[in-house]
Structure 1
Amino acid sequence: MTALKAFVFTITTICLIVYQFLGDLFGGALSYVFSHPNWPFLLLFVFRYLRLVLNTVFSYFIYRPAEVNALPSYTPYNVTAILPTVDPHNKDFIECVRTCLANKPRQLIIVVVGKQVAEDTENIVEQFRRNSSIITVLFISETSKRKQIVEAIPHITTEITVLLDDHVFWPSPHFLQGVLAAFEDPKVGGVGTNKRVRRTEKGFTFKAFWNLIGAIYLERRNFEARATNAIDGGVSTISGRTSIHRSEILKEKEFIDGFTNERFFFGMFGPLNADDDKFITRYEVRKGWDIKIQDCEDTLVETTLGTYPKYLSQCLRWVRTQWRSNTASLLTDGTVWRRQPWCVYSIYMSSLVNFALLYDTALIYNFLRTTYYQSGVSILYLLVWIFASKVVKLIPYFTREPKDLIFLPGYFAFAYYHSLIKLYALFTFYVIAWGGRNLALASAK
């Protein structure tokens, strides 16, 4: 609490000093600016769309993945894959294991919950035993993704470790070569990839709409990850769907202790089970490691997402994670202020005010009070800009799936509804349940 008070006091003091300095420097000009009817609108407009413009330029035109060397320092033989699961009977699990082993990692460690489930898993993966990879099945007695990962860490014998969820697939047999290219830079400690949701539902149906919403969510994340990583090397999160790390980081005692005992809001709540990927990302940044996003055809990760009503509970969990982790990055950790200044603005600070329903309303209201507003045509221009800007991040998706443009009105409606989810998540940030899965039932098994 003392650190937070000191931080707030420092920021307030700096703002007052800057305001006083500008007042002395520009005299009445500053008073004129802040009394002008246009300034609230311009402030809102620039704060939101400056990041969109620059992110668009860097995401689509400047970002480049690390190139694969002809003689790489690391090969799949240098990789251990850790796969925690609570449901090895899940229909996606077999395909997840198969696509992972197609990339020939040195070892695949599967960690389940319960001895009986471990025996079942041994039978399930028996068909893959002839693969060149070593397959190890471990189990713990309670459901905790973090503890499942930690259970596997002592068994890592390679320089690189991949953490993956049980519902993701690597379409390319060259996936590992693609992500390992980033580790040619010795400063890189963690690598993230591009993700895509499988469109399992077709046509103009209720199920197809929710499948689309899930697909769009990951497309937006891809856009933002490419942009921020190209600008200042930062990223919101190395997604836990598939993340790649130097094993030495995961083996550090400080990491293991913090990972299994993370608490939040001045230690009042926790320990956390969710938010595992956020913790790993913050830890690597704090320890001085660089993060690299590998976004290319070979590094694509596919997943299943977007079923109603499960997707809404997932959204709620993700937004709660955002509130907890982003404020931790800004106030508790603070490393991002020095290492990722663009991310401070475009990710962390923007996330605190990014309520589309409220922000768009404020934009329109303040525009109507400016000298720019002359007629109904001028407000129409603003509305076109607002809605067009919401599609910029989705150009690659709609280029692949133009027939889904029919869902655009529904997507806009969900974007505004999501503001209500985000507001509810703010007031229930202390809830740490893992939305989307019944982990209590998994533990009971």
Structure 2
Amino acid sequence: MDLIATGATSRPSCEFHNNSQHHEPGLLMATYDTLLFFALLIFKYIRLIVQGLAYLRYRPIPIPKNPNLTPAAVTTVIATLGKSPVALFEGVHCHIQAGIQNIWICTPPNTFEEIQALSIEIAKRHDRVRIDVCQASYANKREQLACAITHIPEDRKRVHRIIVFADDDIVFPENTVRWMLAAFEKDKVGGVGTCQRARGVADGSPSRRIINSIFRDYIERRNFENLATLTIDGSISCLSGRMAGFRSEIVEDPRFLSGFTGETWNGRPLNADDDNFWTRYLLENDWSIKIQSHRECQVETIFGTSTQELWRFVRWQRSNPRSNSKSLRNFKNWR
């Protein structure tokens, strides 16, 4: 009986031993998750350190003493919905102050007459400045930019060397265009961007200031990442269309225009991601991209401060899968 009792009491110890073995896979999984977490954490901060060092090494291309290109060789193209004539007026004035004498504005049909009247008023104040307004069949930035390019007269196309795409809600210093042209002194440079910033809000409700700070932070982070990657390998994820210059031979090329207006996603026309398209186009056709980050080449964007403006981030994030999937298909984008 004692032996039987002893044997009975020995079973729990065996069962306890088996339970400890049963928990080993869970411990291994926890160890794996911990290692993965720290590996990703280390990668994140190594990446940040490398980007920071590259950012500090960045230097803009200085304006030469005797430049081959002047603002007279530039044509500005602006696509606008015409919702804010005051902002458009301010932006066009900046282009004129920068020395640009030829400006093309494309509108949808419903605001054509209003913007045309505004352009006539601006042109009256400035001698030797030509402002033309055309209308696309519907409101779409790609269609409007392409429409403006095709409406530029042949005599102007024979003269200009650079076409600047610009939004209708930006302001910038007088020497911005000259800084952009400095980068085009190198023959292989096909597109040039600018330093971006969001206009600050000095007063208003706390929610307005918070929304404004969100946009300002986003723009600053994009500046940081773009300058770092350009310094490291000469590549960039997206050349912002708020204000960017291109060699006229590139954007006037029928191949560019047909691809620009005919791009599709899942069989449907792609209306957004215009700046992602021309970034890929430049890289895939062996053109270099530069960004001129300098206090005299700083483009300020006027963002709204309502909660509805935050939907911009949804639209921007939605474009990433579309753009990335297209970029990965061509090894020239892998730098």
Map 1:380-399; keep pairs closer than 5 Å: none
Change (3 A) 1:48 1:269: farther
Which residue pairs with 1:383 in the alignment? none
1:197–1:218: 8 Å Cα contact kept in structure 2? yes
1:303 matched to 2:274? The reply is no
Amino acid in structure 2 at the alignment position of 1:287: N
Which residue pairs with 2:11 in the alignment? none
1:93 matched to 2:88? The reply is yes
Map 1:381-420; keep pairs closer than 5 Å: none
**SS of the residue 2:264 aligns to:** coil
Measured against aligned partners, the alpha-carbon deviations of 1:81-139 in whole angstroms (never above 9, x if no partner) come to 0001111544311111111111121310001111x632222211223212432111111
1:84 matched to 2:85? The reply is no
Task: Note the aligned Cα RMSD (angstroms).
Answer: 1.9
| TM-score normalized with structure 1 length | 0.64
Task: Give how far 1:270 is off.
Answer: 2.5
1:69 matched to 2:64? The reply is yes
- Distance (whole Å) between structure 1 residues aligned to residue 66 and residue 219 of structure 2: 33
Of 86, 103, 106, which aligns to 1:108?
103
- Distance (whole Å) between structure 2 residues aligned to residue 123 and residue 244 of structure 1: 27
Measured against aligned partners, the alpha-carbon deviations of 1:346-379 in whole angstroms (never above 9, x if no partner) come to xxxxxxxxxxxxxxxxxxxxxxxxxxxxxxxxxx
- Distance (whole Å) between structure 2 residues aligned to residue 231 and residue 123 of structure 1: 47
Which residue pairs with 1:421 in the alignment? none
Task: Give how far 1:74 is off.
Answer: 0.6
1:80–1:160: 8 Å Cα contact kept in structure 2? yes
Change (3 A) 1:204 1:50: farther
1:214–1:311: 8 Å Cα contact kept in structure 2? no
Which residue pairs with 1:335 in the alignment? 332
**SS of the residue 1:240 aligns to:** coil
- Distance (whole Å) between structure 1 residues aligned to residue 145 and residue 33 of structure 2: 55
- Overall identity of the aligned pairs, in %: 35
- Distance (whole Å) between structure 2 residues aligned to residue 37 and residue 193 of structure 1: 42
Larger mean Cα displacement after TM superposition, 175-184 or 36-45: 36-45
Amino acid in structure 2 at the alignment position of 1:72: P
Which residue pairs with 2:138 in the alignment? 142
Map 1:8-407; keep pairs closer than 5 Å: 39-59=35-55, 61-87=56-82, 89-114=84-109, 117-129=111-123, 130-154=126-150, 155=152, 157=157, 158-170=160-172, 172-202=173-203, 205-264=206-265, 268-330=266-328, 332-337=329-334, 340=335
1:214–1:306: 8 Å Cα contact kept in structure 2? no
- Distance (whole Å) between structure 2 residues aligned to residue 319 and residue 259 of structure 1: 21
Measured against aligned partners, the alpha-carbon deviations of 1:145-171 in whole angstroms (never above 9, x if no partner) come to 11111111131621101000111111x
Higher helix share: 1
Larger mean Cα displacement after TM superposition, 299-308 or 289-298: 299-308
2:120–2:131: 8 Å Cα contact kept in structure 1? no
- Distance (whole Å) between structure 2 residues aligned to residue 145 and residue 234 of structure 1: 25
- Distance (whole Å) between structure 2 residues aligned to residue 306 and residue 229 of structure 1: 30
- Distance (whole Å) between structure 2 residues aligned to residue 236 and residue 38 of structure 1: 31
Change (3 A) 1:167 1:37: closer
1:55–1:228: 8 Å Cα contact kept in structure 2? yes
Unaligned ranges ≥5, structure 2 = 1-30
- Distance (whole Å) between structure 2 residues aligned to residue 106 and residue 37 of structure 1: 61
Higher strand share: 2
Measured against aligned partners, the alpha-carbon deviations of 1:15-69 in whole angstroms (never above 9, x if no partner) come to xxxxxxxxxxxxxxxxxxxx8786323421233222211111111x200111100
Change (3 A) 1:118 1:131: farther
2:164–2:244: 8 Å Cα contact kept in structure 1? yes
Larger mean Cα displacement after TM superposition, 126-135 or 300-309: 126-135
1:104–1:133: 8 Å Cα contact kept in structure 2? no
- Distance (whole Å) between structure 1 residues aligned to residue 262 and residue 120 of structure 2: 35
Measured against aligned partners, the alpha-carbon deviations of 1:260-305 in whole angstroms (never above 9, x if no partner) come to 01112xxx24211110011010000000000001100111000112
Which residue pairs with 1:407 in the alignment? none
- Distance (whole Å) between structure 2 residues aligned to residue 307 and residue 238 of structure 1: 24
Task: Give how far 1:201 is off.
Answer: 4.1
- Distance (whole Å) between structure 2 residues aligned to residue 36 and residue 121 of structure 1: 62
